[in-house]
Amino acid sequence: MAIIVCPKCAKKHKVNLDTVKENAPLGKKIAARCKSCGHKFPVQLDQFINQEKEKSYEPKTSTRKICVTLSKGGVGKTTTSVNLCAGLALAGHKVLLVDTDTQGQSSYILGKKPRAGLTELLTKELAPEECIVRARKNLWLLSGGKSLAGVKRIIDRKSFGAEWTLSEAMKELDHRYDFIIIDTAPGWDQLIVNVLFYSTEVLVPVALEVMPLQGLAEFMKSLGSIQKYRKEIKLKYIVPTFMDTRIKGPETIYSQLKKLYPEYMCNPIRYSESLSEAPSYGKSIFEFAPGCTASADYKDLVRKVTLDESALL
Ligand SMILES: Nc1ncnc2c1ncn2[C@@H]1O[C@H](COP(=O)(O)OP(=O)(O)OP(=O)(O)O)[C@@H](O)[C@H]1O
Ligand SMILES: [Mg+2]
């Protein structure tokens, strides 16, 4: 299956590649007509075949561990973690959201009050399955909260191997999910170092509001120092957040980011009141305002992360 976008009206069409391949040999263009606006345009088939190849390189059996992190506060880490998880789950993937923040907001956003969470897993007070709650179909939560402060002190006091504490605790859970998304607190501490020793991919939300470039450059330095000891951790996605198209500033910052980090850039998440309202109803953006711009933007992020252009269409 491929997605062909009409260059005139931007409508996306699902196309069965097998049927098209029969009528159009590789290297040749075919004429397509948009069912929505009637516009006729040429399509080169090869690019879609390459997309399919790229997808098939993704091992389906292994878990992808993506942490959502940036030292700067209030940039949309938790909002992105929760809605990315909700979108991946809606697209049919098995997802675990791990909240490593003492603020413990993800359970609030998902409308859950778990009795246990990451603290009990790290202290081995409870068995892994007792620490997890099912938040939605396909979506499970390992919640954070105030009690994590005590765990941080325990990690700090370890004389060796402190940075592997989370990885060791998560071992039993790793293979059960397609995606494990880890939300982190602002700042930089031992727990975040643990997250970077556990994850394999990094997603950085960058608020297009105030001077984000310096914070990002500082984070890149810190990530570089971790990569010296842990080669598997890679920056994969930079997600611009709070994109307000009514004013010029965010557009300018977005263009700068695109120039500086073209390989990691994702489409921006637009500024949306619905995103700040949804948490008080215990709902993801797809449940609270499925038709809003932010819902469309997070769906787009799901497609980018899964390399599945037809996800959630
Ligand atoms: N695109 C957006 N449009 C409007 N409001 C947003 C958007 N993204 C996030 N918000 C709101 O901004 C606030 C901060 O977002 P969020 O809590 O996700 O940031 P954070 O990086 O996790 O913060 P912290 O560093 O404190 O953990 C929240 O109230 C959230 O609802
Ligand atoms: Mg947060």
Q: Please state the domain extents for the chain.
A: 2-55, 60-306
**Can you tell me which atom of ligand 1 is nearest the CA of 272?**
3
Q: How far is CA 87 from the centre of its chain?
A: 9
Give the separation between CA 306 and CA 313, rounded to whole angstroms: 13
**Where do we find the tokens 């038709």?**
291
**Can you tell me which atom of ligand 1 is nearest the CA of 79?**
18
Give the separation between CA 219 and CA 93, rounded to whole angstroms: 30
Of 79, 101, 271, which is best to mutate to test ligand 1, by the most ligand atoms within 8 angstroms of its C-beta? Answer: 79
pLDDT of 123 strictly over 90: yes
Give the separation between CA 35 and CA 169, rounded to whole angstroms: 52
In 3D, which of 200, 181, 213 has the Cα closest to residue 72?
213
Q: Which fold has domain 60-306?
A: Rossmann fold (3.40.50)
User: What does the mean pLDDT of the chain come to?
Assistant: 91
Is the CB of residue 271 below 6 angstroms from any atom belonging to ligand 1? yes
For residue 81, give the 3-state DSSP assignment.
helix
> Which residues contact residue 276 at a Cβ distance below 8 angstroms, ignoring those fewer than 6 apart?
none
Is the CB of residue 272 below 6 angstroms from any atom belonging to ligand 1? yes
For residue 239, give the 3-state DSSP assignment.
strand
**Can you tell me which atom of ligand 1 is nearest the CA of 279?**
31
Q: Check residue 303 and report its DSSP letter.
A: H
Q: Which ligand is nearest to the CA of 273?
A: 1
Task: Quick: pLDDT tens for 5-58.
Answer: 888 888 888 777 766 666 666 567 788 888 889 999 888 776 665 555 444 434
Is the CB of residue 242 below 6 angstroms from any atom belonging to ligand 1? yes
Work out the number of other CB atoms within 10 angstroms of the CB of residue 14.
11
**Can you tell me which atom of ligand 1 is nearest the CA of 273?**
4
- Distances from the Cα of 206 to the Cα of 80, 219, 249, 253, 278, angstroms: 11, 11, 14, 10, 21
- d(CA 252, ligand 2 centre) in Å: 25
Q: What token pair was written down for 255?
A: 């263009």
Range with lowest mean pLDDT among 34-43, 77-86, 192-201? 34-43
pLDDT of residue 263: 96
Q: What token pair was written down for 250?
A: 């965010």
- d(CA 242, ligand 1 centre) in Å: 9
- d(CA 78, ligand 2 centre) in Å: 4
Task: Quick: pLDDT tens for 130-170.
Answer: 999 999 999 999 999 999 999 999 999 999 999 999 999 99
Task: Quick: pLDDT tens for 182-193.
Answer: 999 999 999 999
- Distances from the Cα of 68 to the Cα of 98, 156, 161, 253, 273, angstroms: 10, 22, 23, 20, 22
Give the separation between CA 302 and CA 229, rounded to whole angstroms: 30
- d(CA 313, ligand 2 centre) in Å: 28
- d(CA 75, ligand 1 centre) in Å: 6
In 3D, which of 241, 236, 233 has the Cα closest to residue 261?
236
Residues in the chain: 313
Contact 212, 127 (CB under 8 A): no
- Cβ-count burial 127-157 (b if 16+ within 10 Å, e if not): ebeebbbebbebbbbbbbbebbeebbeebee
Is the CB of residue 119 below 6 angstroms from any atom belonging to ligand 1? no
